[in-house]
């Protein structure tokens, strides 16, 4: 079965492409923006976006929403991470974290897939970590320069794509999706490779 990965984020597209190549999936990337509802639950945002994308594209579609949840900031920016990144950026988050000793944080991903033959499916992934004292690294995107996943001394921005995909929330959700998706064998020819 083919599917469409909908994202305007080139970094996300690269991360997903790397993982889906491991599974030999036939997919294309559609750089289409979807409306993002104001909601505290990533799964609800992803659900709304994937159904919107399906109405436009009319083919099996995959959409992801993700967020950085900082414990000392009561989970902020959470599902508003993209907006917060665009408005105050990495430096703004570090300013909010000045003087904070406990710097626990978590990245979460909600990956939604829709096809009329499978109905809506949501796959989640999370990675625990901490916020660095300063930005480090030139790779990745968004808040990657300040997030250090548990089990590493590097920020996501200091890692290669392959290394980040061993740790990341997005990779965990993508692999759950991939394991489920590869079991789909009884679809009509229109949806086959």
| Burial of residue 100, with CB atoms counted within 10 A of its CB: 0-12 exposed, 13-18 middle, 19 or more buried | middle
Contact 135, 94 (CB under 8 A): yes
Task: Give me the active site residues, please.
Answer: 65
For residue 107, report the phi and psi dihedrals to the nearest 5 degrees: -95, 135
Task: Fill in the DSSP letter of residue 84.
Answer: H
What's the rounded Cα separation, in Å, for the pair 134 and 191?
Answer: 47
- Give bridge partners of residue 78 from the DSSP assignment: 68
Helices 10-23 and 169-181, axial angle in degrees (round to 10):
40
Q: Tokens 């996501």, residue?
A: 156
């Amino acid at each position: 079965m083919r599917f469409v990965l909908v994202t305007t984020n080139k970094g996300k597209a690269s991360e997903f492409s790397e993982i889906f190549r491991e599974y030999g999936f036939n997919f294309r990337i559609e750089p289409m923006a979807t409306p993002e509802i104001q909601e505290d639950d990533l799964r609800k945002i992803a659900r709304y976006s994937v159904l919107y994308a399906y109405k436009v594209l009319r083919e099996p579609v995959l959409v992801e929403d993700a967020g950085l949840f900082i414990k000392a900031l009561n989970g902020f920016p959470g599902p508003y991470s993209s907006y917060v990144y665009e408005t105050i950026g990495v430096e703004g988050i570090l300013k909010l974290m000045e003087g904070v000793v406990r710097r626990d944080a978590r990245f979460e991903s909600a990956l939604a897939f829709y096809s009329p033959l499978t109905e809506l499916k949501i796959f989640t992934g999370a990675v625990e970590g901490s916020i660095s004292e300063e930005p480090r690294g030139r790779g990745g995107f968004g808040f990657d320069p300040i997030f250090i996943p548990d089990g590493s001394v590097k920020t996501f921005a200091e890692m290669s794509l392959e290394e980040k995909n061993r740790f990341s929330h997005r990779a965990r959700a993508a692999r759950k999706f991939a394991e489920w998706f590869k079991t789909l064998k009884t679809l009509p020819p229109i949806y086959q490779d």
